[in-house]
Chains A and B, each alone.
Chain A
């Protein structure tokens, strides 16, 4: 382990001491004077018409201060959402998914709020719900959204929120070149983020404005949402965003912050809502997906065309789901040079929990299908699966995705490294199978991050950055950059985040962007400080600025070298003070691009596994799991490893065990930790090995690319390929539960 604080070392996590001592204050740990506790009221049905709500018994509970229903909110009902403003603060007229709140209680104690929630009498009429793609697209399907929410949209009278069409080349004309065509339909289930910290929200009147505490990934965005809903200037909305206890995309966008804001203003007191784990299942999930892939190859394995049709089952409100559909599908052709690609992706509304961002952002569903299809094709073609990828993968600089960023890595190197680590080509131990797959994901397409870096009089540093550190370690990375550039020990750097009144704007914490975009903003702020130090040194030494170099904590004039801190102390003089640097990093939008902008970088990963299947039970044992990511440059190798191995294990969750189970009316039957399983310490591969490819070819500081999602992208197709290798059985539906594997084995003659 390296203990160096500089970039490329692995100093202890900034904020780590709070995390191991219990002093780290997450939102639920914050207690405000005079606070009220909020409890949601929801119906145990997927869809219902609300006939009436009687709050009288609830209001009679001692300590209850407020029972809020749609009738108590402004008319028309305030709605919000990052793509469409379609989500009401509380359900009005009709509920659209299992768990959608119809009322909320605020009381002096949580006990009182819970008791009152049970006493709210809601008269309702259950309505038929649609919760599969087929049902939602049926001509007689009930509409999930009122067409008036999307005026002028010809799709508004269907359950298709949006269709995305991408591609290049002419499939029909190159079809003749395809000597082998392989096709299949692949399904990916609804899964949930399951951050161990359930979402928590507090709102409090704050003078002539409001303060919000939320475990949110995008504090600046939330500030805008709340200001818009309440008609307040941005400066009167103060968002505190304590480090989330895991986000994984599920904490990107507003959920119940608007509700607690309205309640706090009405009650005149702070209102606090901490979701139960079950309620988080009814607040966030990943879009389920059905993908049909048809791929044409030449006999030598070269791709001729790829034709993809995907239907993502999103929920009752758009949230950011349609963006996951578009962005995840845009790169669905994979990291290959393909003469012709046609992609159709639909966002299908349904009476289910609104799906949202979740690590991988729409890509894992497509990659599950396309990479499974590649593995099946390798078998049909009689070409080794590694060779098939190497024959088609783009080289750096290839225009593999016309109109977008050129291939920005030596991706073949990543594939070869993973193959080598798993021992590809060597005899497979008896009873086992090996599988390999690759994953590509477009990084952020736009971005705007600001940072201030203050070099204090003693040489210590305060970095302000609006990123949320939800475990990925952004604080540590920013501290390392400042330490590197300004010559301070890393433990002399404080990184301030999570307060919009104090910290400058950051667009968002998503798409594995922060090391690259905010990282560059911090770097630029450090460079601004260096420029001011140069001015100082020129004044002190009476020389021209042009001859002064400030670099890595040193000031050089010709042969003479001073520690930066000495120049600082002398330059500041008797009054002391500080040097303030401002940094900005933009990733400009491109209005003509289908996604609104090109990829800032690509995440690329290759995963290879070796496993065995118990033929009597269908249980899969993963003996080895190798994950290799192209990270450009590892700014902190220990954190890179944590992110890669964590993503790999999270990927094993949706591969092997995770899925929502709905009943015949659309209610979720496995809410909570007992009936919905995520990987525990007993579910891990026997060996997990992560490695990185570093060619310094990223746009981030020192050549870094974004990382943190890559190692999740292709876990499922790698595992399914290994199951195919071990048993000869192709399974095209996730998760690969023992029951599903066992049934597939029964239906197929043994290998």
Chain B
């Protein structure tokens, strides 16, 4: 392979990371393969399933649709950044409390999308939650319990 590589600087979950990435690799590949952050999941690779959702400078992004080099200089939040040490984030705790995490594979993406929703809408209505999570497929189809988790977190938590 003669792929070109380039070094990029990222802030990932508050920590500065400098990493060399292939210029044709996605942010998802950089996170999973170059940074070892496998919490962000890979499924459809066409931006439909939402399993790979991360926050890039606060905006939710399907990391399979963004080249890693495009994220140079950005601040990222992945599922690994939602807990404070042993203390779970309010959404994480709410997902456990309502039974929202079944097989769990879509959950990192659901959590990040819910974080993005809270950033713009701290107390979303049910319709706003459904809209906010519309890009995150759950085949266990635990949607009701996911919505309840977001509502519980909105009710209980102080906005992040």
Contacts and interface: CB of A to CB of B under 8 A. Distances in A.
A436 B142 CA distance: 23
Interface string B125-150: 00001110111111111111111000
A198 B43 contact: yes
Given A22-B40, A196-B43, A673-B44, A642 B103 contact: no
B96 interface: yes
> What's the interface size class on B, roughly?
35 or more
Nearest to A680: B134
Contact of A196 (B82, B92, B106, B143): B106
A277 B96 contact: no
B96 A244 contact: no
B143 A684 contact: yes
Nearest to A640: B99
A40 to B, nearest CB: 16
Nearest to A64: B1
A597 to B, nearest CB: 29
Interface residues of A, number: 65
A578 B88 CA distance: 33
Contact of B139 (A29, A639, A650): A650
A12 B100 CA distance: 10
A553 interface: no
A29 B83 CA distance: 20
B79 interface: yes
A646 B140 contact: yes
Best-surrounded residue of B83, B103, B144 (most CB of chain A within 10 A): B103
A193 B144 CA distance: 20
Interface in A585-638: 638
Interface stretch (A107-115, A318-326, A452-460): A107-115
B107 interface: yes
A112 to B, nearest CB: 5
Given A1-B97, A277-B45, A20 B111 contact: yes
Given A277-B45, A649-B143, A682-B134, A22 B38 contact: yes
A193 B36 CA distance: 29
A641 B88 contact: no
Interface stretch (A300-308, A467-475, A515-523, A695-703): A467-475
B92 A20 contact: yes
B46 interface: yes
Contacts of A198: 42-43
A17 B79 CA distance: 12
Interface in B22-63: 22, 24, 32, 36-46, 48-49, 51
A660 interface: no
B140 A642 contact: yes
Interface in A289-333: none
Contact of B99 (A13, A17, A23): A13
A26 B105 contact: yes
Nearest to A244: B103
A23 B48 contact: no
Contact of B144 (A29, A61, A246, A688): A688
A63 interface: yes
Please classify the interface of chain A as helix (H, G, I), strand (E, B), loop, or mixed, using the class held by over half of its residues. loop
Nearest to B38: A29
A682 B131 contact: yes
Contacts of A674: 44, 46, 48
A450 interface: no
B80 interface: yes
B38 A673 contact: no
A531 interface: no
B3 interface: yes
B75 interface: no
A371 interface: no
Contacts of B80: 21-23
A353 B44 CA distance: 19
B98 interface: yes
Contacts of B147: 681
A452 B82 CA distance: 36
Given A22-B79, A196-B49, 19 more contacts: A1-B97, A12-B96, A17-B88, A20-B101, A21-B39, A28-B42, A31-B36, A111-B3, A111-B24, A112-B1, A194-B139, A243-B103, A642-B102, A646-B102, A647-B141, A650-B141, A672-B46, A681-B131, A681-B133
19 contacts: A13-B101, A21-B80, A22-B40, A24-B104, A28-B42, A111-B3, A115-B1, A195-B139, A196-B105, A198-B42, A245-B105, A248-B139, A471-B103, A641-B145, A645-B143, A646-B102, A647-B141, A681-B133, A681-B134
Interface of A: 1, 10, 12-13, 15-26, 28-29, 31, 61-63, 109, 111-112, 115, 193-198, 243-248, 274, 276-277, 470-473, 638-639, 641-642, 645-650, 672-674, 678-682, 684, 688
Interface of B: 1, 3, 22, 24, 32, 36-46, 48-49, 51, 78-80, 82-83, 88, 92, 95-99, 101-108, 111, 129-131, 133-147
For the complex of A and B, list the 3 residue pairs with the smallest distance between their C-beta atoms, beginning with the closest: A22-B39, A245-B105, A471-B103
